[in-house]
Amino acid sequence: MKVDITKITDYDFDKIYKFIEKLQLEKILKDKKTILLKPNLLGAFPPERAVTTNPVVVDAVITYLKKIGKDIILGDSPGGSTSVKLVWEKTGMKEIAEKHDIPLVNFITGGIIQQKAANLEFPITKYIWEVDAVINLCKYKTHSLMSYTGAVKNLYGLIPGLKKSEYHKEHPDHTQFAKVISGLYSIVKDRIAINIMDGIVGMEGEGPSAGDPRNFGVMFASESASALDYVASGMMGFRPEKLEYIMASLKLDNIEISDIEIPEEWRNFKFHKVKIKKIGLYIKILAYSPKILKDIFKKHFTFYPDFNDKCKKCNICVESCPMQAMELREGDAHPTIDYDKCIKCMCCHEMCPYHAIYVHKSFLAKFIIK
Ligand code: SF4
Ligand code: SF4
């Protein structure tokens, strides 16, 4: 399985268009007429925050698809309770859709098809079965809970609205949640014609929304989301074989690591000192330690969401909390969290548009989660 990688250091339309041209989408989409573009539209963040797929990338893909005669729709379901219309405006998608006169579709109101996999029920946007193919336009980022997010995790947005947060409630453990992601992947993977990842300015640190933009200066593409993630996460500094959902997805794609081909010049390439979170290491230590060590570890390894003074009292975090552990009381400077109910899913941290929630860490947590 081939993973294309090209160095592009800024959002220059012509350079991105050239990369898209090289992918020969007319061959990949030979018998397909109607295409759904699924960017990463996690929330109402402007492009410079590097949370969402940059509109110039979306513009270049649409321009090319129109040139080869495709009909296009564009959609995603943001996380939490964020207004979809606000997301379209802030992320620059509304402007791009108007420029090309293509419909923006709302997964929350557009209807679902219920599917089963890995003993789980998934309500999935029906659009993926109404079009002939989906193009996954993902973003290259770290992720506080799952360590890394790219192509496979972007497909989680095919589940509309707040149902996404509910899976955190039902599957709070990191390993269980990895099964949710790979379970969903098993259903939707055959609908995805190609995955194109915007890594020009991605995110490091407390991703997927509260981290720091980082100019990785690269774009990726592959017909397999799992192969793309295997390569891209490795370049970020992760050991991809430790990222459970990526390994499970590779298995679903029937891809051996030795089958993954990348351009020669990118072999063994790693970005310099990316700020990554290795929560997975903590999970593994807990899973394999004797009880006494586990207890000591649990006592000294703590992390939880907390607030700084940037809160604008928008209530998005409160509405997005799957445990109803948050409350915004009149007169308070920010919401309060009932930590007995909190499962540390970090949905609040992920959804806050104003960087007002940070992850508080004990000394041991700071040491392990770099
Ligand atoms: S308060 Fe806890 S349970 Fe609620 S969204 Fe935040 S981390 Fe998740
Ligand atoms: S912390 Fe404040 S600003 Fe952030 S989502 Fe919650 S209420 Fe809104």
Encode pLDDT of 250-260 as tens digits: 999 999 999 99
What is the model's pLDDT at position 278?
Answer: 59
Q: Which domains does the chain have, with CATH numbers?
A: 3-266 (3.40.50.11440), 279-368 (3.30.70.20)
What is the model's pLDDT at position 267?
Answer: 93
Closest by CA to 61, choosing from 22, 106, 7, 9, is 22
What is the model's pLDDT at position 43?
Answer: 92
Predicted structure pTM score? 0.89
Whole-number average pLDDT of the chain: 92
For the cut 60, the answer to whether the pLDDT of residue 197 exceeds it is yes
Helix locations, the chain, DSSP H: 13-22, 25-28, 55-67, 84-90, 93-100, 127-130, 151-154, 163-170, 174-188, 225-236, 244-252, 279-288, 291-300, 316-320, 347-351, 363-368
For the cut 90, the answer to whether the pLDDT of residue 24 exceeds it is yes
CB-based burial of residue 312 (10 Å sphere; 0-12 exposed, 13-18 middle, 19+ buried)?
A: exposed
For the cut 70, the answer to whether the pLDDT of residue 284 exceeds it is no
For ligand 1, atom 4, name the residue with the nearest CA: 321
What is the model's pLDDT at position 296?
Answer: 76
What is the model's pLDDT at position 217?
Answer: 98
Q: Which ligand is nearest to the CA of 317?
A: 2
What is the model's pLDDT at position 149?
Answer: 96
Distance CA 136, CA 228 (A): 11
Residue 266 Cα to ligand 1 middle (Å): 39
For the cut 90, the answer to whether the pLDDT of residue 75 exceeds it is yes
For ligand 1, atom 8, name the residue with the nearest CA: 345
Closest by CA to 196, choosing from 73, 44, 343, 23, is 23
pLDDT in tens, 155-174: 999 999 878 888 888 887 78
Residue 323 Cα to ligand 1 middle (Å): 7
Residue 310 Cα to ligand 2 middle (Å): 8
What is the model's pLDDT at position 303?
Answer: 80
C-alpha count within 13 angstroms, C-beta hemisphere, residue 364: 10
For the cut 90, the answer to whether the pLDDT of residue 301 exceeds it is no
- CA 349 to ligand 1: nearest atom: 6
Q: For the chain, what percent of residues have pLDDT higher than 70? A: 95
